[in-house]
Amino acid sequence: MPGDNPHARPGAAESVETPADESSTKLEKTFDPAHFEERWYSIWEAEGRFQPVGPPGSPRFVMVIPPPNVTGRLHIGHAFGRTLEDILARWKRMLGYRVLWVPGTDHAGIATQMVIERELAKEGIDKLELGRERFVERVWVWKRDAKDTIQSQIRRLGCSLDWTRERFTLDPELSAAVRHAFVRLYEEGLIYRGRYVVNWCPRCGTAVSDLEVVHKDVDGSLYRIRYDVPGVPSGAVVATTRPETMLGDTALAIHPDDPRTAKFQGKTAVLPIIGRELPVIEDPILVDREFGTGIVKVTPAHDANDFASGRRHGLEEVVVIGPDGRMTAEAGEYAGLDRFEARKGIVKRLQSENRLVGIDPHRHSLGHCQRCDTVIEPYLSTQWFVKIRPLADPAIRAVEAGEVRFVPELWTKTYFEWMRNIHDWCISRQLWWGHRIPAFTCANGHLTVAEEDLIACPTCGSIELTQDPDVLDTWFSSQLWPFSVFGWPKETDDYRGFYPTDVLVTGYDILFFWVARMIMAGIHFTGSAPFSTVHLHGLVRLAGEKMSKTRGNVIDPLVAISEFGADALRFTYASSATSGTTVTLDRDRLAGSRNFATKLWNAARFTLGQLEGKPRAESFEGRTLTLPDRWILSRLSRTAGDVNRHLAAFRFDEAAQALYGFLWHELCDGYLEMAKHILSGREGDDGAREVTRGVLHRCLADSLALLHPFMPFLTEEIWEKLTGRPGTLIVSPYPTGDPALEDPRAEAAVETLRALVTRVRNFRGERRVSPTEPVHLWIEPDPGDAEAAEDLRVLEPMLRHLARLSDLTFGPPAALGERDVVAGVPVGLALPAAASEADRARMAKTLAQLEKEADELSAKLRNPGFLDRAPADVVEKTRRRLQEVEERRAALGSAARQ
């Protein structure tokens, strides 16, 4: 978007210098990315290109990286997102912005802890024996390696991150930010501690938030169990999918208005096996009259609904399943048994007591741990929570007001849906790796939440203090990332200079986990949304592979880079980045991008060879440009405009396609072939050749600049040979298009030329003769269009050359050939050999198609509705189309009749 360019100047790359040392203009014959990729990265970094430069007031563009987990290495999904970000960063940098892109990593509590636990298990070390301190030390060692690996992967990708500002969520400054945020929310009453039923993972041994529970439909059983009710001989039949929890039942519930169960009102039931007396309570919220028997067993300690009902009715909360998933002492004879074993035992016992009325197959949704897939247990425990509504409402308003915008837009609705139905957030985790909760309890039971570690209890002065052993949910620190990286809550220069950021690029899978929470935290703590645009990209999957979870998409970006080159991987990512929700990556695409890189390389070799040691036009001012020159410069300018427009809309795929099409099909297939003709000396003079070389230079320079954000290494490598200014492409102006170069007349003329050439080639193909077989072409430009006719005259030598014509005649086609109309120009084509029966048949077929189309078009033009209501230009276009079809019919018809 040209208007967006702070130092826009047309003719971006025009003023580059001729290299001083001619020997340096040679490119290696074979293209090997490994030769130069790492070298350029070092040069850019050493020259400080990744750091924001320019006066503080000048336009800036800031992003923070979504910090990868330090669990191991980067996968193809991360590399995808980082590539898109780097394209934006390099594009904006070349447009003259002060670009800052902040790198860093996330400690990733549960995920990282699990990795280390697995390692320890392999070594036969017991975590508990090792102890918290030594365990955490061990994770830090792991973290250093993982961070290095991740950093080197990101570097290999070419990402222009400012490594001098690298952050880690457990850095002292960022930990201080976490404590500050926690204390502030606590003091504001937005963090509270309480005993509630939470999602508990027995394997991880920690509470998790609602978002960390993955619901899956499973085929289970619905057990119908009869409880004795004194006074009601039939007893009460309840249905449950989890019979083991019945040991924790403390009531039965019925709906007050359900006549079926009215007889239980005020009664007391007896819990089988245990013998506990269960009051029958009436709870219209808990009991759905439509479902099952209308009687619900109430287990306040093991079901969130039952818990709420229990609190409403003051029921006892009996925990029968412990944090390890085994039955507690409250479970009597089942104590110590695994929850699923206990279920089997209980069912058996009920059966033997004739209390099991039935077992029905029942498909229902079951929560699983996001990390380890263990069945989540609702578990009553004391945890810390964020009261979310007061944070969510302003975050909703910010998006409504357009302060934050989602691209693609469809995510806006998803965001609203979630935010409007959001629940309080359980933030405490019973883990060792993470930010310790800054809450301290003294010997006298006084709880204090404080930013600094306490020496004595502020309430009673006791010096016997224990800090809460729990850590915070990783996302609690991640939500602060866009400002904690800049030193918040301190008013640092970076915080003042670079916050809020501009764009956040991430996968839609963490919209709720991370993006929404950052918006809430940003607004609450800093008063502004942390970014103005969120680009949510699709999730990467490999071709042929289903979306399945633990398939572990094992394609390491580094493997792809070593095989195809970083530029090819990046270009593949860009061209695959459609607006859909999945991005498919496959080897054929990678190979295609590699081929494209090679194409550019070879086009550059050719161009550099032509320029070497020969004069070229430094400027086109006052020089006579040929139609092909004007055409390619016009196309170049339009391409630049298109690319900028597509990037501004986050349409990386369209931008990549525009560049691909221009470079390959117009510059290489079109202009280079025409330039060869001029440069060979067969047409034009020395001046024309100078101009051609100037145009070639300009096209290559601008192509390199336009492609640089996508393929930074290769373009910088060629740029050095072209300009003799190594490592400067990254900070060269980005072409935005030059309206002065746009030339519809030249475009039309060359399009006609190319169409004629194609028609001749295709004629040879149809007649099955070699491309060198002499062909005589007649063309009869419309005298009514003087400009077009004149341009065709001018292009005659080019037409002869490209179509390898033996003869070219301007005038009515001779009667012996085949006739057609190409781009509005009547033509005749003839070979020495006469047309065969097969040729006539083919022509007849084409003729039939044309007749059909002519009928349709004329029917349309006879339709009054169309003539009255369709816009004039559409009607006119239809008329012209009909005219052309009729002309072709006439031409072909006359030839076919011969």
Partner RNA sequence: GGGGGGUUAGCUCAGCGGUAGAGCGCCUGCUUUACACGCAGGAAGUCGCAGGUUCGAGACCUGCACCCCCCACCA
Residues 745-774, interacting with RNA (CB under 7 A): 757-758, 761-762, 765-766, 768, 770-771
Is residue 585 within 8 A of residue 543, CB to CB? The reply is yes
Q: Tell the smallest beta-carbon distance from residue 549 to RNA (Å).
A: 8
Q: Tell the smallest beta-carbon distance from residue 614 to RNA (Å).
A: 14
Is residue 576 within 8 A of residue 583, CB to CB? The reply is yes
- 288 is an interface residue for RNA by CB under 7 A: yes
Positions in 796-825 near RNA (CB under 7 A): none
Q: Which segment (5-13, 232-240, 720-728, 832-840) binds RNA by CB under 7 A?
A: 232-240
Q: Tell the smallest beta-carbon distance from residue 274 to RNA (Å).
A: 17
Decide whether 708 or 754 has the Cβ nearer to RNA: 754
Query: How buried is residue 221: exposed, middle or buried, by Cβ count under 10 Å (0-12/13-18/19+)?
Result: middle
Taking the C-alpha atoms of residue 430 and residue 113, their distance in angstroms, rounded to an integer, is 11
Q: Which of 23, 365, 401, 621 binds RNA (CB under 7 A)?
A: 365
Taking the C-alpha atoms of residue 522 and residue 501, their distance in angstroms, rounded to an integer, is 11
Q: Which of 332, 609, 739, 832 binds RNA (CB under 7 A)?
A: 609
Is residue 597 within 8 A of residue 568, CB to CB? The reply is yes
Decide whether 89 or 574 has the Cβ nearer to RNA: 574
Q: Which segment (188-196, 291-299, 493-501, 622-630) binds RNA by CB under 7 A?
A: 291-299
Q: Which of 374, 528, 578, 809 binds RNA (CB under 7 A)?
A: 578
3-state secondary structure 319-346: CCECCCCEECHHHHHHCCCEHHHHHHHH
CA distances 44 to 279, 329, 643, Å, are 75, 65, 24
| Residue 884, SS3 per DSSP | helix
Q: Which segment (2-10, 335-343, 414-422, 715-723) binds RNA by CB under 7 A?
A: 414-422
Q: Which of 106, 303, 642, 702 binds RNA (CB under 7 A)?
A: 303
Decide whether 45 or 424 has the Cβ nearer to RNA: 424
Q: Which of 579, 728, 806, 883 binds RNA (CB under 7 A)?
A: 579
Q: Which segment (39-47, 102-110, 180-188, 301-309) binds RNA by CB under 7 A?
A: 301-309
Q: Tell the smallest beta-carbon distance from residue 875 to RNA (Å).
A: 8
Q: Tell the smallest beta-carbon distance from residue 785 to RNA (Å).
A: 22
Burial 477-515 (b: 16+ CB within 10 A, else e): bbbbbbbbbbbbbeeeebbeebbbbbbbbbbbebbbbbb
**Closest Cα partner for 61 from 37, 29, 85?**
85
- 595 is an interface residue for RNA by CB under 7 A: yes
Decide whether 262 or 874 has the Cβ nearer to RNA: 874
Is residue 377 within 8 A of residue 327, CB to CB? The reply is no
Taking the C-alpha atoms of residue 716 and residue 810, their distance in angstroms, rounded to an integer, is 47
Decide whether 147 or 616 has the Cβ nearer to RNA: 616
Q: Which of 444, 459, 562, 582 binds RNA (CB under 7 A)?
A: 582
Decide whether 533 or 657 has the Cβ nearer to RNA: 657
Q: Tell the smallest beta-carbon distance from residue 178 to RNA (Å).
A: 24
Positions in 234-253 near RNA (CB under 7 A): 238-242
Decide whether 476 or 483 has the Cβ nearer to RNA: 476
Q: Tell the smallest beta-carbon distance from residue 664 to RNA (Å).
A: 6
Taking the C-alpha atoms of residue 655 and residue 850, their distance in angstroms, rounded to an integer, is 36
- 426 is an interface residue for RNA by CB under 7 A: no
Positions in 32-71 near RNA (CB under 7 A): none
Taking the C-alpha atoms of residue 644 and residue 226, their distance in angstroms, rounded to an integer, is 71
Number of residues lying near RNA (CB under 7 A): 97
Which residue type occupies 212?
E
Cis peptide before 300 (omega within 30 of 0): no
Interface characters, 642-681, with RNA (x: CB under 7 A): -----------xx--x--xx--xx--xx--xx--x---x-
Task: Name 347's Cβ contacts closer than 8 Å, sequence gap at least 6.
Answer: 223, 243, 356, 359
- 441 is an interface residue for RNA by CB under 7 A: no
366 - beta bridge partners?
216
- 268 is an interface residue for RNA by CB under 7 A: no
Q: Tell the smallest beta-carbon distance from residue 750 to RNA (Å).
A: 14
Is residue 734 within 8 A of residue 5, CB to CB? The reply is yes
Q: Tell the smallest beta-carbon distance from residue 838 to RNA (Å).
A: 14
Task: Name 132's Cβ contacts closer than 8 Å, sequence gap at least 6.
Answer: 432
Decide whether 244 or 494 has the Cβ nearer to RNA: 244
Taking the C-alpha atoms of residue 301 and residue 666, their distance in angstroms, rounded to an integer, is 71
Length, in residues, of the chain: 898
Interface characters, 520-559, with RNA (x: CB under 7 A): -----------------------x---x------------
Task: Kindly provide the residue ranges of all beta strands, DSSP E only, lying in 202-241, ordered along the sequence.
Answer: 206-208, 213-229, 232-240
- 775 is an interface residue for RNA by CB under 7 A: no
Positions in 458-497 near RNA (CB under 7 A): none
- 397 is an interface residue for RNA by CB under 7 A: no
Positions in 152-191 near RNA (CB under 7 A): none
Decide whether 494 or 820 has the Cβ nearer to RNA: 820
- 622 is an interface residue for RNA by CB under 7 A: no
Q: Tell the smallest beta-carbon distance from residue 513 to RNA (Å).
A: 8
Q: Which of 856, 880, 894, 898 binds RNA (CB under 7 A)?
A: 856
- 851 is an interface residue for RNA by CB under 7 A: no
- 606 is an interface residue for RNA by CB under 7 A: yes
- 876 is an interface residue for RNA by CB under 7 A: no
- 831 is an interface residue for RNA by CB under 7 A: no
CA distances 473 to 118, 124, 182, Å, are 20, 28, 12
Q: Which of 863, 876, 880, 894 binds RNA (CB under 7 A)?
A: 863
Alpha helices of 709-795 — where are they, by DSSP H? 712-723, 744-766, 786-794
Is residue 116 within 8 A of residue 78, CB to CB? The reply is no
Is residue 475 within 8 A of residue 517, CB to CB? The reply is yes
| Residue 592, SS3 per DSSP | helix
**Token pair 């607006």 is at which residue?**
579
Positions in 105-124 near RNA (CB under 7 A): none
DSSP annotation of 25 reads G
Q: Which segment (3-11, 395-403, 491-499, 577-585) binds RNA by CB under 7 A?
A: 577-585
The number of helix segments (H) and strand segments (E) in the chain equals 28, 29
Query: How buried is residue 686: exposed, middle or buried, by Cβ count under 10 Å (0-12/13-18/19+)?
Result: exposed
Q: Tell the smallest beta-carbon distance from residue 505 to RNA (Å).
A: 17
Distance from first CA to last CA of the chain, Å, rounded? 56
Q: Which of 218, 332, 874, 876 binds RNA (CB under 7 A)?
A: 874
Decide whether 378 or 530 has the Cβ nearer to RNA: 378
Positions in 210-229 near RNA (CB under 7 A): 210-211, 213-215, 217, 222
**Token pair 């060198």 is at which residue?**
772
- 861 is an interface residue for RNA by CB under 7 A: no
Positions in 375-394 near RNA (CB under 7 A): none
Decide whether 105 or 240 has the Cβ nearer to RNA: 240
